[in-house]
Amino acid sequence: MFSAQTYQDRRTVLKSSISSGILLFLGNIENPVNFEHNPYYFRQDSTFLYYFGIQEPRIAAIIDIDENKTIIFGDELSIDDIVWMGRQETLKEKSLKSGVSETLPYAELPKYILKAKSANRKVHYLPPYQSSNKILLSDLLGIKIAELQPSVEMIKAIVKQRSVKEAQEIVQIEQAVNVSNEMHLLAMLTAKPGIKEYEIANAIQHLAGNKECGMSYPPIVTINGGILHNHYRLNTLKNGDLFLNDSGAETAMGYAGDLTRTFPVSSTFSTQQKEIYEVVLNAFENAQRLLKPGMKFKDIHLKASQHLVEGLVDLGLMKGNPKEAVQNHAHTLFFQCGLGHMMGLDVHDMEDLGEQYVGYTEEEPKDTKTFGLKSLRLGKALESGFVVTVEPGIYMIPELIDIWQAENKNAEFINYDKVNEYRNFGGVRIEDDFLITNDGYRLLGNGLIKTVEEIENYRKEHLS
Amino acid sequence: MFSAQTYQDRRTVLKSSISSGILLFLGNIENPVNFEHNPYYFRQDSTFLYYFGIQEPRIAAIIDIDENKTIIFGDELSIDDIVWMGRQETLKEKSLKSGVSETLPYAELPKYILKAKSANRKVHYLPPYQSSNKILLSDLLGIKIAELQPSVEMIKAIVKQRSVKEAQEIVQIEQAVNVSNEMHLLAMLTAKPGIKEYEIANAIQHLAGNKECGMSYPPIVTINGGILHNHYRLNTLKNGDLFLNDSGAETAMGYAGDLTRTFPVSSTFSTQQKEIYEVVLNAFENAQRLLKPGMKFKDIHLKASQHLVEGLVDLGLMKGNPKEAVQNHAHTLFFQCGLGHMMGLDVHDMEDLGEQYVGYTEEEPKDTKTFGLKSLRLGKALESGFVVTVEPGIYMIPELIDIWQAENKNAEFINYDKVNEYRNFGGVRIEDDFLITNDGYRLLGNGLIKTVEEIENYRKEHLS
C-alpha cells in the first residue's frame, strides 16, 4: 500500500469534485471456478485500490459527501475463520493504513444505503463488471440489474483523477514494465523449434511470479500473430515462424505493464519478415516522437497508419497516395485495431468506467462504426501524466483478405495479388509503454531491444 | 473430449432417471478480472463437461425429456470474431463431437424456456455458483435470484451417475495424480532454507503447465501447516520448519488430482516432527485399509481420529481412553476437519450440487453443528467406482488451544501443558487419492514417497 496520506489526499480531491450524495465503492469477491469454495485468484477492483488500497475480498466503502464521512464495510474474521485461515491483520488495522478510522460490519451497508435513499439522497456508483457486484448493486438499490444507472459525475471525476499518474504510481508501472522486459528477454531465449507456445507462456509467468508479479492480462504468445487476440497455445514452433509475444506483468499493488515483441523462431528474420518488421518499427518510432501534451492520440494513430501505408507501398502491397489510403481506411486491411490505450491499475486503464469517458470527449466522441477506428480505445488529446501504450502492427488475416478482395474493396490502394503472397505471413506488433511529460514523453522502464539487429544479436549470443 | 458415444450414453442414463420436463445445463462464461474484456482463465462447468464435453464459454444445453430432444445453444463466430480470434472449429462441429446434431443461436434459449413454461412444463436446473449464471437463470425463468429452486430430482440423478467413475475417467484422474506426484517431488527438491513459499508454488505450477495441466485448486504451500486453508505465500523457509504442500493438477479435460505431503525444510525431521508425522502416517495407513464398498466414510473418519488419539496419547499430548476421547470430540483440537472427500471433475467432486446429496443420505444427513464433523464432506457408505481422498492430519492452532484451555475443554483427554510445547509446531497432513474397487481400494497414480525414511532419503540423494 501507499501511505495513508496518499489515499486520504486522493479521496479529498474526489470529494471536492462531487456536489452531493454518497459515493459507493464495491470491492471484488473471490470468484468461484467450479464451485463456490474453489476460487480464482483474488483481484481487487482498481478504483477501490486507488482510493482505499485494501486487497481483501467482500469489502465496500462509502464516502458520504453530505455528512463528510468515510466508512469501510466488511467483516472481521471469526474464530472459525482464524482456525481455517490463520490470524491476520484486522480490517480495522487495514483501514487505518488507508486513513479510514470508521469500519462497520458488511451487513450495515444495505442499511446505510436504504437510509440515504429514504432521505432522497443520491447514491453514486460505478458500472459493475463482475456479475456478483451487479447482483449486489441491484439488491442494495432495489433496482433491476438492467436498470442500474452508474453516476456519470462520479465516473468523470475518477477518470480525470486516475488518468494523471502520481510519481509513486509511475514507480510501480516502471516496476511492472521492467519485469515485463525480463519476461520478453526470457521468451526470446525460450522460443526455438520444437517448443510449444504454452511452454513460453509458462516460463514467463514463472519468472513474473518469482518477482511477486502476476500477469496484467492473459499473454498472447503465438506463431499466428495475425490473430489479434489469440489464446490458443498448443502450436509447436518451427523454423521460419514469426513469434509474437504480447505480455505484461502486474505488480502486487496492481499496476500493469504491457509490451509486445515479434521475432523469428529461426536465428534470423527472413527477408520478407525483416521488411514488414521494419515498416512497423518505422511507424512505431514516428508515433513515439509525436507523443506530447495537447496532441490528439487519434491523430498519432492516423499518422502511424500513414507510415504503415508508406512502407507497404514501398513493398508493393499497397499503392496510390498514402494519405488518401488512410482517409479511405485502406490500411485497416493490415492494421485493424488501434495504436494504443491508457495504462495504469488496469492494462486498459479504467476500461470498466467506459471508453467514451477515458479515451474520448463529449465534443469528439468515439467513432463506433468505422472498421479500425471503432477499435481505437484512445482518441483524445494527451496530457502530462498520462501513461499510454504505442503498438502499431501489420496483420495478415486470410479471412479478411478474401472478403475485401471479393468486394474489390479499396482496390485503388491495395495490390491484392501481392497481398496474397503474404496471406500466411502472420503478424508483427511492436509495443512499448510511455509517460507523457510536460515537453513530450518518456519511455517507461529500462528499455527492451527492438531493432532487427538487436534482436538477432541477442538471440545469436544467448542461444546455444 | 471422450467419444460422442460416451456423452450420448451418459445423457441416455440421465434421461431415463428423470420423469418429465426439460433439463437445463448452463455453461460458464469468461469471468472478468478487472474489466469485462480482461478475463480469468476459462473453466467450463463440470456437469456441462460431463454430459457435453464442450469447453467453450457462453453456451447452454437442454435435454427435453418430453419431446426427446437435445439442443446446444450458442453463437457461431462472426467475421469480426474471426478477425480477432482466428478461425476455429464451429459450435456445430463441436456439438457433433458430443453427439448432438441440433444447435441453435444463444438468443433462442430464452424463447425455448418461455415456451416450455407457458406449457406448464417443468424446467429442471442445478444450483448456480457463478454469479453470471444466477443472473441468467433469474432472467430465463423470471424468478428472483433468492427464489431460484434447483431441481432435487436432477441433482440426485446426476450425483448418482457422476459418483461412479468410468474406466476412461479413472485414466484421466490417474493422469492428474501422476502430474501431481511430479509436482510434489519437485517441491521436495525446491524447498530449502532461503526460498520463499511462493517460489515453490510457481515451480509446481510451471511443471504442471508444461504437461498441459492446470491446478485443480489454489495450492497450499506453507511453513504454517497448522493453518488449514493457508494462501499466504510470502514466508521464507528456514531450517527447522515443517513444509506442507497440498496441491494437485487438473487435466485439460478437467479431472483433478489432490495430494498432500509434509516434510522438513532441513534434510531430516526433528524428533518431535518425526513423532507427530508417524502418528498421522499410522492413521493414514489404517484408514486406507478400511476403504471398501459398504463401509461408511464417516466410520473411517472416526477410526482414523481414534488412531490419531492413540498416537497422541503415546506422545503424552492426550490421555484417557481413545475411543471415549473421539466420542467426546476431543481429537478435534488437533484434527479439526474431515478425513476426505469425493474427487473427479471437481477436486471436491460435485460440491456445487450440495454436500447433502454428494456426501450424505436422507437417512443419515450431515452433522452440521458439531465442530469437526461439520467439516466432514463425505459420510455415506462407499461404493465401487467412487474416487475419494484420504487425508488425516494433526494441526496445532495456538488460537484454538487457548480457547479450549481457557474453558478447560475436554481436560480429561488433553494434557494442555504438553500441548503448549507444540503450539508453534505447525501441521502435518498426508493425502492420497483412491478408487473404491469391488473388493477394496486401489491407490490412484504411480505412488508417491510417504514414509519418513523415503522422504529423508529422497531429499538427501537429490539436494546438493
Report H helices in B315-451.
Answer: 322-327, 355-358, 398-407, 416-421
d(CA B175, CA B213): 10
DSSP state of B256: B
Closest partner CB to B351 (pick from A37, A45, A254): A37
Of the partner residues A35, A145, A229, the one whose CB lies closest to the CB of residue B129: A35
> What is the ipTM metric for this complex?
0.96
CB contact under 8 A, B35 and A131: no
State whether B130 and A134 contact (CB < 8 Å). Answer: no
Interchain proximity B210–A228, CB inside 8 Å: no
Closest CB to B230 among A35, A85, A209: A85
| Confidence band of B464 (pLDDT split at 50, 70, 90) | low
Q: Note whether B135 contacts A135, CB cutoff 8 Å.
A: yes
Q: Is B247 on the interface with A (CB under 8 A)?
A: no
> Residue B57: its pLDDT value, please?
95
Is B34 close to A43, i.e. CB distance below 8 A? yes
- Nearest Cα residue in chain A from B355: A35
Query: What's the gap in Å between the CA of A39 and the closest CA on chain B?
Result: 8
Q: Find out whether A104 and A113 touch, Cβ atoms under 8 Å.
A: no
Residue A350, by phi and psi: left (phi above 0), alpha (psi -120 to 50) or beta?
A: left
Asked if B38 lies within 8 A of A198 by C-beta distance, the reply is no
Residue in A84, A87, A203 nearest the CB of B228:
A84
Read out DSSP for B312-323? HHHTTSB-S-HH
Considering only CB atoms, B40 lies closest to which of A31, A228, A352, namely: A31
Residue A310 at interface with chain B, using a CB cutoff of 8 Å: no
- Three cell numbers, residue A263: 521475432
CB distance from B17 to chain A under 8 Å? no
Task: Inform me whether the C-beta atom of residue A16 falls under 8 Å from chain B C-beta atoms.
Answer: no
Please write down the HEC assignment for all residues of chain A.
CCCHHHHHHHHHHHHHCCCCCEEEEECCCCCECCCCCCECCCCCCHHHHHHCCCCCCCCEEEEECCCCEEEEECCCCCHHHHHHHCCCCCHHHHHHHCCCCEEECCCHHHHHHHHHHHCCCCEECCCCCCHHHHHHHHHHHCCCHHHCCCCHHHHHHHHHHHHCCCHHHHHHHHHHHHHHHHHHHHHHHHCCCCCEHHHHHHHHHHHHHHCCCEECCCCEEECCCCCCCCCCCCCECCCCCEEEEEECEECCCCCECCEEEEEECCCCCCHHHHHHHHHHHHHHHHHHHHCCCCCEHHHHHHHHHHHHHHHHHHCCCECCCHHHHHHCCHHHHCCCCCCCCECCCCCCCCHHHCHHHHCCCCCCCCCCCCCCHHHCCCCCECCCCCEEEECCEEECCHHHHHHHHHHCCCCCCECHHHHHCCCCCCEEECEEEEEEECCEEEECCCCCCCCHHHHHHHHHHHCC
Q: Which of B87, B346, B397 sits opposite A83 (nearest CB)?
A: B397
Q: Is B343 on the interface with A (CB under 8 A)?
A: no
Q: How far apart are CA A85 and CA B229, in angstroms?
A: 5
Note whether A212 contacts B: Cβ–Cβ < 8 A.
yes
A/B interface, count of CB pairs below 8 Å: 162
Q: Give B-chain residues touching A226 at CB under 8 angstroms.
A: 86
B297 contacts B382 by C-beta, under 8 angstroms: yes
- SS3 at position B124: strand
Helices B108-118 and B131-141 cross at an angle (nearest 10°) of: 50
B394-431 pLDDT per residue, tens:
999 999 999 999 999 999 999 999 999 999 999 999 99
The superfamily in CATH containing domain B167-462 is Creatinase/methionine aminopeptidase superfamily (3.90.230.10)
Inter-chain CB proximity A212 and B198 less than 8 Å = yes
> Distance from A117 to chain B by nearest Cα, in Å?
22
Name every chain B residue with its beta carbon within 8 A of the beta carbon of A203.
Answer: 206
Nearest CA in chain A to B145: A135
Which residues 57-96 in chain B show a CB within 8 A of chain A? 79, 82-88
- Averaged pLDDT score across all residues of chain B: 96
Tens-level pLDDT at each residue, chain A (464 residues)? 999 999 999 999 999 999 999 999 999 999 999 999 999 999 999 999 999 999 999 999 999 999 999 999 999 988 778 877 777 889 999 999 999 999 999 999 999 999 999 999 999 999 999 999 999 999 999 999 999 999 999 999 999 999 999 999 999 999 999 999 999 999 999 999 999 999 999 999 999 999 999 999 999 999 998 887 777 889 999 999 999 999 999 999 999 999 999 999 998 999 999 999 999 999 999 999 999 999 999 999 999 999 999 999 999 999 999 999 999 999 999 999 999 999 999 999 999 999 999 999 999 999 999 999 999 999 999 999 999 999 999 999 999 999 999 999 999 999 999 999 999 999 999 999 999 999 999 999 999 999 999 999 999 988 76
Chain A positions touching B88 (Cβ under 8 A) are 232
Residue A332, C-alpha cell as written in the block: 485497416
- Tell whether B368 is within 8 A of chain A (Cβ): no
Instruction: Considering the domain delimited by B4-163, tell me its CATH architecture.
Output: 3-Layer(aba) Sandwich (3.40)
Distance from CA of B282 to the nearest CA of A (A): 24
Predicted confidence at residue A80, as pLDDT, reads: 79
CB contact under 8 A, A209 and B217: no
- In angstroms, the separation between the Cα of residue B126 and the nearest Cα of chain A is 12
Domain boundaries, chain A: 4-163, 167-462
A224 Cβ under 8 Å from any chain B Cβ: yes
